Structure 1
Amino acid sequence: MKINKKVIFTALVTVSGLYANGQDMRFTQKNPDKPEVTEYMDPEIRVVTPGAVPSDAIVLFDGKNLDQWESSKDGSAAKWKVEDGVMTVVGGTGGISTKKLFGDCQLHIEWRSPNEGDDRKGQGRGNSGVFLQGIYEVQVLNSYQNRTYRNGQAGSIYKQTPPLVNATSKQGDWNVYDIIYTAPKFTINGGIETPAYVTVIHNGVIVQNHTKIQGVTNYIGQPTNPVHGKAPIHLQDHGNAVSFRNVWIREM
C-alpha cells in the first residue's frame, strides 16, 4: 500500500492547531526523529483515589440527612423521609434540589421503585426523575414488565430520546445510574455554541451514549433552549414513593 505523505502531514498540522494557542507545541516539528518530541510531562495528572466514592466526589446523600438538599418549591428544608440509609419521596411535598450548583459532572445515584402492585401501570408506576441542571430529565420509572411510551421509560431523556435498551430491575430492587453530563454552552447573543450531551449507564449497561439533549424537558410541546449557567441537581416528586441512596457527584 502506498503511503500518502501529504495526508499524514496534513493530519499532523491539524492536530498541532489544537495546541497552537496554548500550551503544547509538540507536533510543530514537521518530521520528529526522537520519541520525546511527542511526549510531555507537565502538568502532572491529578490523582483521584477510586472506590465506592471517588476521593474528589461531593457526597450529596450519605444516608444520614438531607443537609445538601432543599425544597425545589421555595428553598425551605427538604421534606422527604430519611430512614435506614435511604431517602424516600413523600408525595405532595414537592421535589428537592441540591443547594450547590453544577455544570459538567459525573453523577452516581441509586434508586428503587416501591412495591405498588399491578394496579399502577405505565407512567403511574415508580415515577420520578433526575434533572440535570434542574431542567434536563433522565427518567426514573419502574419499567420492568411495564409498557409505556418509548421516550418515557426508565433511562430515557424524557420526551426526547428513548434508552437503547431496558435494563430496569424489578419492583423493590435497586437500580444504579451513572451519568456523565456535559452542560450546554451559549453564545453571547443567546444562541447555542455547543449543546448538552449525556451518557447514562443503567445497572452497568449503556442506555444513552453521548446523547445530544435537545433542550429543556417539557411535558407538553417541543424542547426549548433558554440561556443558563450552573444549576442544581433536582429529584422529582411525581407522587410515587421512590427511594434514593448513595448519591455523589464529581465536577468536571
Structure 2
Amino acid sequence: MALVPFVFALPVWAQTAPPSASAEPTDPKATEQWEPVPKAVTPGKQDSAPPSDAVVLFDGRDLAQWETSKDHSPARWKVHDGVMTVNKTTGNIQTKQRFKNYQLHLEWQVPKDIAGEGQARGNSGLFVASTGPADEGYEIQILDSWKNKTYVNGQAASVYKQTPPLANAMRPPGEWQAYDVVWTAPVFATDGTLKSPGYVTVFHNGVLVQNHTQLAGETVYIGKPKYKPYADAPIKLQAHGDPSQPISFRNIWVRPLD
C-alpha cells in the first residue's frame, strides 16, 4: 500500500512590519513653531528694576497708586528717603487698580533695632488678593524671621496659617528683603463654586520658598481657610498692630498676566 504523505498546514500569523525609519520626520521644520510671536518686553537694568510692561506701584516718590483699604481715601503712610513706612493709625493700604493673575516684585525692610519676638516682631503682610477692607484675602507673611522663633506657617514667606516656606531666606534686620511672586488667581463658576484653586510661587531674596503652592482658601487667623468667589482684587499691604517698630517698603511693581 502506497503511503500518502501528509502535508501539515501551519497557521500563518499576520505580522506587522517594523516601523520604517522613513516614518520618522526627517525635516527639522516639521517641529518648528513660528506663531504667535511673543511680545517684546524690555527688562530692567537690574533684575529688581521694572520691565517695560510693568505697572509701577511705588517708585519712592508718592502713594498715587494706593488708597486706604477701610474707606478708599488716599493712603497716608509716610513717604521718606525713597521708601514708604507703615502708618498703624491709618491701617492697611491697597492698590487702586485691581488684578487677577500677575508677577509682582516688592522689597521690604525691618528696622535694624527691631524689638519684640515671635509674631510681635516686624509683622506685616502682603495680600496678593484683597477681598475685604480688613485682613481678608490671601496673605504672604512678612515678619522678621532672622533668629526669631515662631510657628513655621507664620514665619516670613509662609502662606499665612497654611504653608511654611521651603527655606528661611531671611537677611538680618536693617537689610532689605525682596519678594518675587507669581500669583495664579482662583477661578469660580457662575454659581460661585470653585473651579480651580489659587496657586502662588514665591522667591525670597532669590531663594524659591513657595513652589506653585496650592492655597486652601483665604487667610484666616482662627479656623480653616475657605474660598469665597471674586473676579479681581487689589493688592494689599498690612498695617499690623504689633508693638514693634513699623517696617518699610520700596520698589514695588507688577506685571499683569491676564
| TM-score between both structures, scaled by the size of structure 1 | 0.85
* Partner Cα distance (1:153, 1:245) in 2: 21
Shift of 1:169: 1.2
Q: 1:180 — aligned with what? A: 182
Structure 1's unaligned 5+ residue stretches are 1-29
Is 1:249–2:249 an aligned residue pair? no
2:114 and 2:122 in contact (8 A); partners too: no
Q: Which amino acid aligns with 1:36?
A: K
Alignment of 1:20-59 (within 5 A): 32-51=25-44, 52-59=49-56
1:134-177, Cα deviation, whole Å (9 max, x unpaired): 11000000010100001000000000000011111111111000
Say which SS state the counterpart of residue 168 (structure 1) adopts: coil
Shift of 1:33: 4.3
Is 1:217–2:210 an aligned residue pair? no
1:80-107, Cα deviation, whole Å (9 max, x unpaired): 0000000000112101000000011000
* Partner Cα distance (1:90, 1:130) in 2: 15
Judging by fraction of residues, say which structure has more helix.
1
Say which SS state the counterpart of residue 125 (structure 2) adopts: strand
* Partner Cα distance (1:54, 1:150) in 2: 33
The structure 1 segments of at least 4 consecutive aligned residues displaced by more than 4 Å after TM superposition are 30-33
* Partner Cα distance (2:111, 2:70) in 1: 24
1:69 and 1:78 in contact (8 A); partners too: yes
Is 1:193–2:190 an aligned residue pair? no
| TM-score between both structures, scaled by the size of structure 2 | 0.83
1:172-217, Cα deviation, whole Å (9 max, x unpaired): 1110000011111112332221111111000010111110011100
Q: Which amino acid aligns with 2:98?
A: L
Match of 2:57 among 41, 56, 60: 60
Match of 1:125 among 121, 125, 139: 121
Q: Which amino acid aligns with 2:254?
A: I
Pick closer, same or farther for the CA change 1:44–1:117 going to 2, 3 Å: closer
Say which SS state the counterpart of residue 87 (structure 1) adopts: strand
1:5-34, Cα deviation, whole Å (9 max, x unpaired): xxxxxxxxxxxxxxxxxxxxxxxxx96443
Is 1:112–2:75 an aligned residue pair? no
1:116 and 1:125 in contact (8 A); partners too: no
Say which SS state the counterpart of residue 124 (structure 1) adopts: coil
Q: 1:165 — aligned with what? A: 167
Shift of 1:40: 2.4
Q: 2:138 — aligned with what? A: 136
* Partner Cα distance (2:148, 2:184) in 1: 30
* Partner Cα distance (2:171, 2:40) in 1: 34
Q: Bigger radius of gyration, 1 or 2?
A: 2
Q: What's the C-alpha RMSD, in Å, of the aligned pairs?
A: 1.3
Q: Which amino acid aligns with 2:125?
A: G
1:108-132, Cα deviation, whole Å (9 max, x unpaired): 00000123444x1000100000001
Q: Which amino acid aligns with 1:249?
A: V
Structure 2's unaligned 5+ residue stretches are 1-22, 131-136
